[in-house]
Chain A
């Protein structure tokens, strides 16, 4: 007994004295239900980096504990407790939906565990609520929508109807769109999160007669909406604009031909010309047999960000200040091209315009059209009074 105790004490001392001997990642994502495709893409791309590095991140053996939040904040909370107390993870990542993020982030941040978002970047953690342990590898929630508002200006669309699910990211989305849009917003329609049938909303849109409709309907909701939009013949009466999420490979595969021509905004495109991206797109396709989505690109970048930070911190991930500083410097080549993290740890980056087309091989996919916003920073960062590490 005494020998065991002594061994344990020595083991604990050993842990604190040197660089960590492994990094434990709590990967919580939406892996089942109608929006599972999003989480699966993030997970697969994240694992791709770990696998390419021979099971390591930044030189440390990486143990990735994958759990499924089922898009349910309560499930997320229970899993968070498990990841923090039982698995004692160093970093939590992978969360797709903002409502899950808002529910679980406080306990993770209070525990002084690093939270690197691979998708949701809610306004609540971008301004006054910014936190030294909170990082966003993807985008601040408003970014895609601000870009869409700006695009509607340049296309001279004078009136719009906005449509989003009634949850935090839905409100962020419409706020974001309105921030740069100069035309008239005829109506804002909030739908239920996970809504199936949009016939009632489509009738409202038809009656309102806008020039364009902007939708934020991630995952399965977007597929349903666009199918019904086309069936109602609205595609011939007005322009449909969406953020990249509503017009990505997962949605295209389910809707097909009718989506050709749709404009959408994003921080990444599969045909961005940088070398990192070309390698990523080819690698992802070869490994998983499908085209990567923005979610996949984000999962890949998240893994690269953690990888770079562990390397720059020389493996001392238990030294919070060193590891935090390394994360904030985001010292890696992203598949989206140049970007950096703002004072609130949200990206400053370009937002692009994509349009769905039929490529010469007859495949329906996105085409990069141009840049809508250059080195765009979010509107919340000014309110963030956090001290740098």
Chain B
């Protein structure tokens, strides 16, 4: 097998995984710490991407667009949390699913009304638009390298935030025993609002960073939300470390499944069978992974609560 292809595919797996991590990090915090299933997480991702595309179109600056999208989406997230989601924390999961599903439908329709049904363009900064030669013969899109960098940076920052800051301590305290934390004088509701704002900003970061690769369009959040849920279930709900490991696992398995599996199958099976079987197997592979993890580790790989 061509070593350059293997290397390039490993980078692809890493990049796809880190991109999922950006989304899964926010989702796992909200789900794990507030015990809240937020299906509208994907909508925040979409709103972030649309804000970024709109600002980039108006100003021509990609990085300004990323900053505005993160700030704007965090504000929208806070408004949502204070006006609606806060009242759902005590309800059971079914109510949360219903309410946040309604949010998906409303935000899709709102985005369609504001920006129209067709997809928007969001271009990367011109200096990052092309490929770079990492090794002789190994060309890799510069922008994907930036995504890898941003993903790693967010992982480190989040780890530091949760494990080594006062806010992180309050978050962990609020999550493990809400009543006790409140009795000790912690304003749990404020902590939750901040967590939700961080989650929303991460969504927007993911949306803005992925905009140059994917179509910025209505409904973009739903397809990626499912993968994000797979990631946090594998990683263990509520754990940042779990989200990172889960995301990298899903990214790698998916990439290997899509490229090398059909190749191996073609080597051992007749081409017609292989071309039918390969894509079918590849698309179920991450769900097989999830089923396997749930079978041996029902709480996920790194459960947040012991």
Q: Do B12 and A199 touch across chains, with their CB atoms under 8 A apart?
A: yes
19 contacts between A and B (CB under 8 A): A33-B222, A36-B117, A36-B219, A37-B117, A190-B278, A194-B223, A199-B12, A199-B144, A200-B259, A203-B5, A206-B8, A220-B119, A223-B119, A224-B215, A228-B141, A228-B213, A231-B130, A231-B144, A254-B120
As a 0/1 sequence over residues 190 to 232 of chain A, the CB contacts with chain B under 8 angstroms (1 = contact) are: 1110101101110110110000000000001001100110111
Min CB gap A262→B, angstroms: 15
Chain A binder among B199-207, B228-236, B279-287: B279-287
Q: Is B16's beta carbon under 8 Å from chain A? A: yes
Instruction: State A10–B104 Cα separation when bound (angstroms).
Output: 48
Neighbouring B residues of A204 by C-beta, 8 Å: 5, 259
Q: Is B298 an interface residue (CB 8 A)?
A: no
B contact set with A: CB distance below 8 Å: 2, 4-5, 8-9, 12, 15-16, 19, 108, 112, 116-121, 123-124, 129-131, 139-144, 212-220, 222-224, 255, 258-259, 262, 275, 278-280, 282-283
Asked if residues B121 and A254 are in contact (CB atoms below 8 Å), the reply is yes
Q: Which residues on the B side are within 8 Å of A290 (C-beta)?
A: 116, 118
**Which residues from chain A contact B258 at a C-beta distance below 8 Å?**
191, 200-201
CB B193 to nearest CB in A, in angstroms, measures 31
Name the A residues within 8 Å of B116 (CB-CB). Answer: 290
CB distance from A131 to the nearest CB of B (A): 27
- Interface SS of chain A: helix, strand, loop or mixed? helix
Interface residues of A, count at CB 8 A: 40
A190 and B215 contact, CB distance less than 8 A = no
Q: With the chains together, A33 CA to B46 CA distance in Å?
A: 12
Residue in A closest to B259 when the chains form the complex, CB atoms: A200
User: Nearest Cβ in chain A — how far from B137, in angstroms?
Assistant: 10
Are the CB atoms of B117 and A33 closer together than 8 Å? no
Q: Is the CB of A200 within 8 A of B255?
A: yes
- A32 sits at the interface (CB 8 A): yes
9 A-B pairs closest in CB distance: A233-B131, A223-B215, A254-B119, A199-B12, A231-B141, A33-B219, A190-B279, A166-B279, A220-B215
How far is A255 from B279 in the complex, measured between Cα atoms in Å? Answer: 27
Query: A87 near B: Cβ within 8 Å?
Result: no
A250 interfacial by beta-carbon distance below 8 Å: yes
Pick from B16, B123, B215, B279: contact of A199, CB below 8 A: B16
Contacts of B12 in A (CB 8 A): 197, 199-200, 203
**How close is A358's CB to chain B, nearest CB, in angstroms?**
15
Chain A residues whose CB sits within 8 angstroms of the CB of B16 once the complex forms: 197, 199
User: Cβ of A255 and Cβ of B8 under 8 Å apart?
Assistant: no
Chain A residues positioned under 8 Å from B129 (CB to CB): 230-231
Q: Which residue of B lies closest to A165 (CB)?
A: B279
Chain A's closest residue to B124 (CB) is: A231
A254 to B216, CA, bound (A): 8
**How long is the Cα–Cα vector from A204 to B12 in the complex, in angstroms?**
12
Checking B4, B143, B279 against A231 with a beta-carbon cut-off of 8 angstroms, the contacting residue is B143
Chain A residues with CB below 8 A from B278, complex form: 190
